[in-house]
């Protein structure tokens, strides 16, 4: 939790917002994935590492295909932890958040999963299919290890549900900007998103980052003032799929620039 807290404090003191970048572990292979995260971490303030799973329901086609490629390369939970350990050999400060579905955690064993993640150097978890009502025990165990459980809120979340999310989440809430799956969008409903994030922050007092659909600098500029950070995933994964790392670096550079004050 401390690395996440320090990241927010350091950036906000400079008027910056965290750029949080998602990529799937072991896509297209575990060795190539390490080099991809090395590139991502030149620009990202935090990383979300996707845990490959055969049925990623919240994800659109781009990230679904990344899960398939990773599983074909032999990815499993243990290899995700090994990847995190290797990242920690060259990056000791930036937060690493695992994003994955509950089934692999259940199969691995909750307690062992949390302990092994802690030992690998993980700072928090996003489990899209674990609702706050059913995730209280998991969140308690995660917090007892001084790690951060991060729960999702959406445009459809009622005030009552938002309060519940605020009670169980860790350092921040992940706001899903659209009702649907991950994927690039041409435009977003900026004013509505900002208004809803203001509601969530008012109810919970928690920092709130926004993701789903954010894929270009324009999206960040249009709603820069309200969210506490920005998550970019599908746009990054699409460039990984293409193997175009010059284009990937150009995108990362652009996104990081717009998270800084004008």
Distances (CA, A) of 158 to 89, 135, 177: 42, 18, 15
Active site annotation includes 48: yes
CB 8 within 8 A of CB 171: yes
CB 41 within 8 A of CB 13: no
Active site annotation includes 111: no
Catalytic residue among 27, 45, 48, 171: 48
Catalytic residue among 27, 45, 59, 228: 59
Rounded to the nearest angstrom, the gap between the alpha carbon of residue 176 and the centroid of all alpha carbons in its chain is: 11
Token output for 72: 């074909």
Distances (CA, A) of 116 to 2, 122, 166, 256: 18, 9, 26, 31
Token output for 225: 């003032």
Q: Which residues contact 242 (CB under 8 A, 6 or more apart)?
A: none
- The SS3 call for residue 63 is helix
Hey, which residues are catalytic here?
48, 59
């Amino acid at each position: 939790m401390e690395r996440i807290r320090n990241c927010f404090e350091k950036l906000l003191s400079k008027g910056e917002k965290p750029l949080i970048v998602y990529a799937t572990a072991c896509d297209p292979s575990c060795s190539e994935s390490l080099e991809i995260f090395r590139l991502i971490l030149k620009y990202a303030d935090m990383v979300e590492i996707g845990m490959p799973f055969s049925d990623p329901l919240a994800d659109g086609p781009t990230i679904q295909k990344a899960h398939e490629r990773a599983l074909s390369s032999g990815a499993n939970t243990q290899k995700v932890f090994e990847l995190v350990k290797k990242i920690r050999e060259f990056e000791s400060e930036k937060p690493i958040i695992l994003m994955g579905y509950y089934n692999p955690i259940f199969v691995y064993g909750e307690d062992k999963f949390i302990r092994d993640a802690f030992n690998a150097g993980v700072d928090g978890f996003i489990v899209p299919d674990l609702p706050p009502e059913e995730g209280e025990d998991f969140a308690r165990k995660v917090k007892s290890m001084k790690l951060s459980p991060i729960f999702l809120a959406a445009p459809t979340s009622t005030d009552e549900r938002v309060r519940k999310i605020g009670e169980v989440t860790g350092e921040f809430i992940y706001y899903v900007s659209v009702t649907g799956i991950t994927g690039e969008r041409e435009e977003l409903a900026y004013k509505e998103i900002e208004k809803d994030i203001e509601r969530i922050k008012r109810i919970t007092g928690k920092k709130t980052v926004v993701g789903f659909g954010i894929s270009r600098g324009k999206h960040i500029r249009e709603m820069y003032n309200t969210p506490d950070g920005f998550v970019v995933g599908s746009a990054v994964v699409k460039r990984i799929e293409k193997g175009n790392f010059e284009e990937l670096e150009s995108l990362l550079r652009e996104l990081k620039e717009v998270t800084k004050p004008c």
